[in-house]
Amino acid sequence: MVDRVVDDPYLWLEDLDGSDVARWVAERNAETLGALGGDRRLRDEIREVLDSKERVPIPSWRGDGLYYNFWTDADHPRGLWRRTTAEQFRLEEPEWEVLLDLDALNRAEGENWTWGGVTVLRPSYDRGLICLSRGGADAVVVREFDLARRVFLEDGFTLPEAKSRVSWIDADHLYVATDFGPGSLTSSGYPRVVKRWRRGTPPAAAELIFEGHADDVSVSAWHDTTPGYERDFISRHLDFYRSEEYLRLPSGELVRIDIPADADYGLHRDWMLIQLRTPWLGHPAGALLAIDFVRFLAGDRNPALLFRPDGRTSLSSFTWTRHHLILETMTDVRSHVEILTPDEPEWRRRPLPDTGEFDNTGIADSDPDRDDSYLVSSEGFLKPATLSLATVGGPTTVLKREPAFFDTDGMTVRQFFATSADGTRVPYFVIGGDAEGPTLLEGYGGFEIPRTPGYSGVFGRAWLARGGTHVVANIRGGGEYGPAWHRAALRENRPRAFEDFAAVATDLVARGLTTPDRLGALGGSNGGLLMGAMLTRYPELFGAIVAMVPILDMRRYTHLLAGKSWIAEYGDPDDPADWEFLSAYSPYENVRPGRTYPPILLLTSTRDDRVHPAHARKMAARLREQGHRVHYYENVEGGHGAAADNEQQAALWALTFGFLRRTLH
């Protein structure tokens, strides 16, 4: 396949930060701020929620018995990486040991670092590989950190900015997949080679252990540090959903783990779990299987069936404790939790009590190397988050409760089902009171990602408390009903997701819950593609649309940043057969003069190195050229999240809700 010559007058807007582009962005930003103004009170209320010191600090267990947490607030906008003891965490105001202050680091180094995560060395827990992102981009700088002295090691492992993947092998060796120079990246911009890097040597001298193909999405390697089960693994990611998995023997020989390419797997001591996307060994798509890993490598193909989906129920996730497996499932987007214990021939099962009809309960963390304790979180659209500590077979203790950030008196959560164009029942939630205010409909519908109930103080204060109604649509393409729900909107079937969303909008009006002129729509990333389709295919259903960091140009998306990695989701526009169905809905290609579109707000970030800001830029330019009503704002920082700190987040949300209130009222 080759990049076809395209007739596009706005190709120049694909230049990330050229002077002409920067001038165009500055002009559009000024126009948008001038037209929409700035609701300072709304922005301050949103900022108060984001910066609240009463938020629940969701911790991680690193294996040393301590609670680790990354935290931002008004005093620390870029954040603190910190830790405390289990005893201290139970207190209302724990004493935290600050390991790294990013704001202080930025002042000292003249940088704009944001937190990109950390990988801690086990079992000593005294070193970490910290990822630092400039302005929120996916590309990170990796630097080794001494947790005892709380300093970066000048002579430690360090990698320059890239979309790197690193894993500790031991104190003196890493697996590293990064940009090693020409030929070391895939066409999607991710690492194509994995090397074993020894301390004290330059990255270029690292030992090559695996090399993928240029058209793969990426490759990676990792080391299992579980005592008595130390093993090494390599993954070759063929596309977004398919991979080849290998066990790497001490000799360097690779042994293929012979599971379906589109299955996900995980290992815990003796057990391998396999989550299916397509049928295998007589088990249906969406099933979860378990088998002894050594027996599997020896040829055993008789796994235990731990979960079988049905038309209403799917598997959300699974988490190990030392001796037990915790399953999180959904039935009609309502969460359930069950504890399984390995046994022969059947695993023993014990369901946990549900916390509420529309609450979302999940496992926040566990420490499977140590014990059978786990952290469980629970929240709902109108219920602030609760974090509890539980032990399998033991008590559950509430550790933290988030305060209510808005008054919910008179508000309810209801679930309805709309009927899509092909007769499919599509669930959606309606949150709010009986006030006849505007309605905001959200959706995503892609990459197997479900939209589940969750508490948002920002939405509550900025929308619900001001008389608005919030609607969350669980359309196809997401993961609400397992692999089949996702597959139903893949590639040439993507319009089914659009039809589902349009069906929910139509159903809201039919139920008398809103009217088209008072109905807004919002989505980001793949949800931004959904918004572009609503604008160009169903403009009569909406009074306003907001698309955040959107994918909009389906002709060029594979040639922009990480776009090529999504071919399995959307199709390849350089393949004439695929372009035939992509061109039929690509929002950028389907803007038409003379049509009446609702006003749209396009939001993006210059530092988004996943979805190129050119998608939103070019869409805004084309809409402007044809005389349609469009507002455009591009934040300089923020990466794919569009904001690098709470101040920027508050400003963007205030702009969003200000636009919706002004337009829909």
Retrieve residue 583's tokens: 């061109």
The HSE-up count of residue 622 (CA atoms within 13 Å, CB side) is 26
Which is catalytic among the residues 470, 486, 615, 640?
Answer: 640
Beta strand 519-524 with 544-548 is: parallel
Element (H, E) at 142: strand 140-146
Which are the contacts of 375, defined by CB distance < 8 A and separation ≥ 6? 59, 61, 363, 364, 365, 366, 387, 388, 389, 390, 399
Instruction: Decide: 156 and 144 in contact? Cβ < 8 Å.
Output: yes
Nearest partner of 197 among 218, 178, 219, 225, judged by Cα: 178
In whole angstroms, what is the distance from residue 541 CA to residue 498 CA?
Answer: 12
Would you state the structure tokens that stand for residue 359, as one six-digit string? 């609450």
Q: Return the DSSP state at 646.
A: H
Q: How many CB atoms lie within 10 A of CB 593?
A: 9
Q: Is residue 525 annotated as part of the catalytic site, yes or no?
A: yes
Q: What is the dihedral of CA 353, 356, 357, 360, to 10 degrees?
A: -90
114: β partners? 133
Tell me how far apart the alpha carbons of residues 391 and 377 are, in angstroms, rounded to a whole number: 14
* Annotated catalytic residue within 377, 525, 565, 586: 525
495-510 and 576-585 helices, crossing angle to 10° = 20
| Residue closest to 457 by CA, chosen among 399, 421, 508, 406 | 406
Helices 576-585 and 526-537: angle between axes, nearest 10 degrees: 70
Strand 360-366 to 373-379 pairing: antiparallel
How far apart are alpha carbons 626 and 554 in whole angstroms? 20
Longest CA–CA separation in the chain, Å: 70
Distance in Å from the first CA to the final CA of the chain: 49
List, in order, residues 6 or more apart from 255 with CB less than 8 Å away: 246, 247, 248, 249, 297
Point out the residues that are catalytic. Answer: 525, 640
